[in-house]
Amino acid sequence: MWRVIGHDWAVDLLDHSIETGRIRHAYLITGLSSVGKTTLTTQFAQALHCAEPDAPCGNCRSCRLIDEMSHPDVHLVSLDTVPEQERRTRREIGINQIRELRHTISLKPYAGKWKVCLILEANRLSEEAANCLLKTLEEPPSYSVLILTAVDGNILLPTINSRCQRLDLRPVATETIRQALVKTYGVEEDQAHVLAHLAVGRVGWALRASRDGEHRQEHQRRLAHLWKMGGASRVERMALAQELSQQFTKDIEEREGVQELLESWSCWWRDVLLVKEGCPNLVVNVDQLPRLREYAGQVPAGQASHALNSIRATQSYLDQNVNPRLALEVLILGFPTVKA
C-alpha cells in the first residue's frame, strides 16, 4: 500500500502504469519543496520492485533496501551524493555523477526487472550534466526507469521535459494533512490543526515540524523579525536590510534562508488581509489570531496589500539577481508602521 499523503491522482496513475505494464522510461515529478516528491519517487521505485500483492508493501527486503537506498537496482543521484571535494565549490549535480549513472544504467538489473535511477532536484544539474543525461533519455535501455524531481519543471531543458512523463504535484489540502497527522502520526488535535495550516500544503514540512519543534520555532523567529520592524526606525530598518543582503550573498543555504523568510512574511501579510476581509478562518498563522487582528486594526488595506505585493516583487527581483541590498532596502523601508 502506498504511504503517501495526498496526491491520490499521481499514486493512481503510477499504480495503473505498473498494473498494465505500461511503464514509461522517464518521469518528472515537480512541486514545491517538502510537498512529497521524494516520498512519491521512493515508493514508485519500491512498487516497481516489490513482489508482495499490496506493493509497495514497505516491509519486504526489497522495500527496506530501497528505503535505505542500498538496493542494487536502484541508483540515487542528488545533491547529497555529490562528492565532498566538489560540494564545497558549488551546489550542483555535476557531470561525473551523470557519467556514473550512465555506467550503472548500462548494466542489466541484478535482482529485479527494472533498473531505477532517481535524480532528486534535477533543477540543480549543471548544464554539462543535463546534456549528458539527455543522451540516456534519448536512448534508454529497455529495463531502465528514470525518475526526476524538480521544484519547477520549466527550469529544466525543454528536451528533458519532452522525454519525461510529467507529474505536477499541487500543495496538499490542509484538512488532508491535519487528518494524516492525527490518524497516522498520532499528533494531538490542537497541534495538528496549527501545523496543518502553517504547512501551506507541504506535507514534509508538517511531518518534520511535528517531530521536532525547530521548524515551527524558525517560522516564529521570522515573524518576530517582521513584528519588530513595525516599530523600528529608518536606521534600524536599513541595518536589517544590510544584514539580510549580506546573508543572501553568503552562500546558497543562507540565500534560501532569506527566501524562506520572505515567504513567511508574505504569508503574514496575506493573513492580515484575510482578517481585514472578515475571513479569519482562512489564515495560515492560526495560532497568531490576536496579533493578526491587531495588525488588521492598525494597517489600512491598501498598505497591507502594498506590503504583500512588495514582498512578491522582491522575491522575483532576488531570483533575477537584482542588487539584493537595494531590493531589500526598498522593501523594508516601505513596510507599514505598526505599534507593538
- Facing residues of 26 across strands? 146
| Residue 67 Cβ vs Zn ion, minimum distance, rounded to whole Å | 10
- Give the residue among 280, 207, 203, 205 at the shortest CA–CA distance from 6: 203
> Sign of the CA dihedral 1, 66, 90, 157?
negative
| Residue 215 Cβ vs Zn ion, minimum distance, rounded to whole Å | 30
Which of 57, 79 has the CB closer to Zn ion?
Answer: 57
| Residue 61 Cβ vs Zn ion, minimum distance, rounded to whole Å | 8
| Residue 248 Cβ vs Zn ion, minimum distance, rounded to whole Å | 44
| Residue 114 Cβ vs Zn ion, minimum distance, rounded to whole Å | 14
Chain position carrying cell 531589500 = 328
> Sign of the CA dihedral 202, 206, 212, 215?
positive
| Residue 112 Cβ vs Zn ion, minimum distance, rounded to whole Å | 11
Nearest-CB residue for Zn ion: 50
65: which 3 cell numbers? Answer: 533496501
Which of 51, 252 has the CB closer to Zn ion?
Answer: 51
- Facing residues of 77 across strands? 119
> Sign of the CA dihedral 16, 22, 23, 25?
negative
38: which 3 cell numbers? Answer: 521524494
Q: Report which DSSP code applies to 306.
A: H
- Report the C-alpha gap between 314 and 316 in whole angstroms: 5
| Residue 111 Cβ vs Zn ion, minimum distance, rounded to whole Å | 13
Instruction: Please give the sequence-ordered ranges of beta strands (E in DSSP) within 105-218, or none if there are none.
Output: 115-119, 144-150, 165-168
Which of 60, 134 has the CB closer to Zn ion?
Answer: 60
- Report the C-alpha gap between 204 and 201 in whole angstroms: 9
Which of 50, 137 has the CB closer to Zn ion?
Answer: 50
Which of 52, 218 has the CB closer to Zn ion?
Answer: 52
Residue at 286: amino acid letter:
V
| Residue 110 Cβ vs Zn ion, minimum distance, rounded to whole Å | 17
DSSP 305-330: HHHHHHHHHHHHHHHTT--HHHHHHH
Q: What is the 3-state secondary structure (H, E, C) of 197-228?
A: HHCCCCHHHHHHHHHCCHHHHHHHHHHHHHHH
Q: Which residues bind Zn ion (CB under 5 A)?
A: 50, 52, 57, 60, 63
- Report the C-alpha gap between 178 and 192 in whole angstroms: 5
- Give the residue among 336, 138, 120 at the shortest CA–CA distance from 227: 336
- Report the C-alpha gap between 15 and 86 in whole angstroms: 37
| Residue 66 Cβ vs Zn ion, minimum distance, rounded to whole Å | 8
Which of 63, 207 has the CB closer to Zn ion?
Answer: 63
Q: Report which DSSP code applies to 171.
A: P
Which of 52, 128 has the CB closer to Zn ion?
Answer: 52
Which of 72, 334 has the CB closer to Zn ion?
Answer: 72
Which of 63, 195 has the CB closer to Zn ion?
Answer: 63
